[in-house]
Amino acid sequence: MSTPEPGADLRELDCRGRLCPLPVIDLARALPEVAVGDVVGVVADDAAARVDVPAWCRMRGQEYLGEDAADDGVPRYLVRRLT
Amino acid sequence: MAVVTNAAPVDLDAASGEPLHPAASEVLAAAHERGWGDPRRLHRAGRDARLLLDNAREVVAGALGVRRDEVSFTSSGTEAVHRGLLGLLEGRADGRDATLLSAVEHSAVGHAADWWARRSGVPGAVVPVDRHGRVSPDDVVDLVAPGTGVVALQAANHEVGTVQPVAEVAARLDGRVPLFVDACAAAGRRALPRGWDAAAASAHKWGGPPGVGVLLVRKGARWASPFPGDDRVDERTSGFENVPAALAAAAALQAVVTERDEVATRQHALVARLREGVTVIPDVDVVGDPDDRLPHLVTFSFLYVDGEALVHELERHGFGVASGSACTSSTFEPSHVLAAMGALTHGNARVSLHRDTGADDVERLLAVLPGVVADLRARVGM
């Protein structure tokens, strides 16, 4: 597991307050707007996102990099677009 | 648009509850006539009740392949789990208080371990599982610490069906730490695995009446009641024995074990058909071991689908199924089983077959599912 380089292009996706499956739907919609190789950070307080973002990456062939936190402490799930 | 059928509703949630097995209904009525007395009393009604209770114990012992004196009846599978797990801890004289559970145990096991941890002040530990939801015996042995007082490993998982390597874990533990086996999902459907010190089962899951659990304590195991005692027939339990229900539970178990080879073979093939059939739907996660599993159940999750909406839509099409998605739970937490496996938790449905579920029911479900999933995805623009 690798974390993105400091200063790397990271687009944050605000899914605060959105319940499952909405954060994963937001992620699927946002991915085409991200360049291949870039990272998107899904900021979600919904408990299911912790499991469903990595599961989505596995099913859709994208790379799950791990979890950190947004500036306000809300969990942020990092996904690198591979395809 | 999916086509809504007008067929009679089909319950596909046998893992939550089975209707009474015909063998149990007959026995239940007769046992209410003869088994209402207090089995501790020496008069006629008491002797009759005691005879039926002993008979129930004997039948359950025979069906599960255990000793008669290892069988106790409790008021639920949950109570049997609590008494089984906690009794092994209570029976220890060496102060080893920590629990070690697989990550996919039923919440009844988890709640009992949490309760014990709060009282003892000793936190428990958890054994991770693989993608199919199975522990590795190496992991179990590696995670046994000097303070570990009991290991809990289910016979098979209640949500995804995966069978656990109970006998191998027991052999590796070799009696150093007692083993509790929750057999609630598997009892009657598969032979009871060997190697437990205490085990639990639940009658309503095999077609017995609700309100009957079976606690097994191996002869010679160090077990002591974790709860207040009672002056009843069986020192491992408390409260007035529900003799008619215990006898009906025993009759159902005997019938289920007798017909097991035929029913399990048929159900295993129907579930294999379901597992294969749902894969025509894009972006589906079919979870659990495809082969080494309970015969009658399967769990799958559809990307971008709301689990609660899926349950309601299938109900509208005449199918009753369970879901492990967060939106369908009282706590709004996703299923800890699916989470531990890394399986998709939203859009989740668990389908479990009754003994009379037929290939036509399965085909009808497979026929409506693609339209239902496509509709639900279309609602959210996917």
CATH code of residue A33 = 3.30.110.40
Q: Mark yes or no for CB contact B304/A60 under 8 Å.
A: no
pLDDT tier at A9 (50, 70, 90 boundaries)?
Answer: low
Asked about A15 being catalytic, the answer comes back as no
Q: Does B334 touch chain A (CB under 8 A)?
A: yes
pLDDT at res. B257: 98
Structural domain for A26, as ranges? 10-80
B248 and B274 co-located in one domain: no
Look at residue A61 and tell me whether its pLDDT is greater than 80.
yes
CA angle B47, B53, B54 (to 5 degrees): 90
Nearest residue on chain A to B131, alpha-carbon basis: A55
pLDDT digits (tens, 9 = 90+) for B353-372: 999 999 999 999 999 999 99
Q: Which among B229, B258, B287 is the end of a domain?
A: B258
Q: Give the domain CATH number at B326.
A: 3.90.1150.10
Total of domains in chain A: 1
pLDDT digits (tens, 9 = 90+) for A65-76: 999 999 999 999
pLDDT tier at A1 (50, 70, 90 boundaries)?
Answer: very low
pLDDT tier at A5 (50, 70, 90 boundaries)?
Answer: low
Nearest residue on chain A to B382, alpha-carbon basis: A25
pLDDT at res. B2: 54
Q: Say if A1 falls within a structural domain.
A: no
Q: Say if A5 falls within a structural domain.
A: no
Q: Mark yes or no for CB contact B338/A25 under 8 Å.
A: no
Backbone phi, then psi, for B229, in 5-degree steps?
A: -75, 180
Contacts of A46 in chain B (CB under 8 A): 326
pLDDT at res. B93: 85
Q: Say if B10 falls within a structural domain.
A: no
Give the rounded percent of residues in chain B with a pLDDT score beyond 70. Answer: 98
Q: Which residues pair with B198 in a beta bridge?
A: B180, B217
pLDDT at res. A2: 52
Q: Are B180 and B197 in contact (CB under 8 A)?
A: yes
Q: Say if B13 falls within a structural domain.
A: no
Q: Say if A50 falls within a structural domain.
A: yes
B232 and B95 co-located in one domain: yes
Q: Which among B193, B225, B258 is the end of a domain?
A: B258
pLDDT at res. B326: 78
Nearest residue on chain A to B346, alpha-carbon basis: A21
Q: Give the domain CATH number at B183.
A: 3.40.640.10
Q: Say if A68 falls within a structural domain.
A: yes
Separation of alpha carbons B337 and B320, rounded Å: 21
Residue A6 in tokens: 């400091």
Residue in B283, B332, B380 nearest the CB of A59: B283
Q: Say if A42 falls within a structural domain.
A: yes
Q: Which of A18, A25, A64 is the best residue to mutate to test the B interface, defined by the most B CB atoms within 10 Å of its own CB?
A: A25
Q: Does B347 touch chain A (CB under 8 A)?
A: yes
pLDDT digits (tens, 9 = 90+) for A34-60: 999 999 999 999 999 999 999 999 999
B356 and B213 co-located in one domain: no
Q: Mark yes or no for CB contact B285/A48 under 8 Å.
A: no
Q: Say if A3 falls within a structural domain.
A: no
Q: Say if A44 falls within a structural domain.
A: yes
Q: Are B89 and B97 in contact (CB under 8 A)?
A: yes
The amino acid that residue B306 corresponds to is D
Q: Are B112 and B198 in contact (CB under 8 A)?
A: no
Q: Say if B17 falls within a structural domain.
A: no
Q: How many residues can be counted in chain A?
A: 83
B101 and B194 co-located in one domain: yes
Q: Say if B322 falls within a structural domain.
A: yes
Q: Say if B93 falls within a structural domain.
A: yes
Catalytic residue among A4, A11, A12, A20: A20
Q: For residue A81, what are the CA distances in angstroms to A10, B285, B319?
A: 11, 20, 38
Total of domains in chain B: 2
Q: Which among B258, B287, B317 is the end of a domain?
A: B258
Sign of torsion over alpha carbons B258, B263, B268, B269: positive
Question: B47-51 long-range contacts, Cβ below 8 Å, gap at least 24?
Answer: B49/B241, B49/B243, B50/B233
Catalytic residue among B327, B339, B366, B374: B327
B144 and B99 co-located in one domain: yes
CA angle B277, B318, B344 (to 5 degrees): 50
**Rama region for B332: left / alpha / beta (φ>0; ψ in -120 to 50; rest):** left
Nearest residue on chain A to B282, alpha-carbon basis: A59
Q: Which of B286, B344, B380 is the best residue to mutate to test the A interface, defined by the most A CB atoms within 10 Å of its own CB?
A: B344
Question: What average pLDDT does chain B have?
Answer: 95
Mark the ranges of chain B whose per-residue pLDDT is less than 70.
1-7
Structural domain for B319, as ranges? 260-379
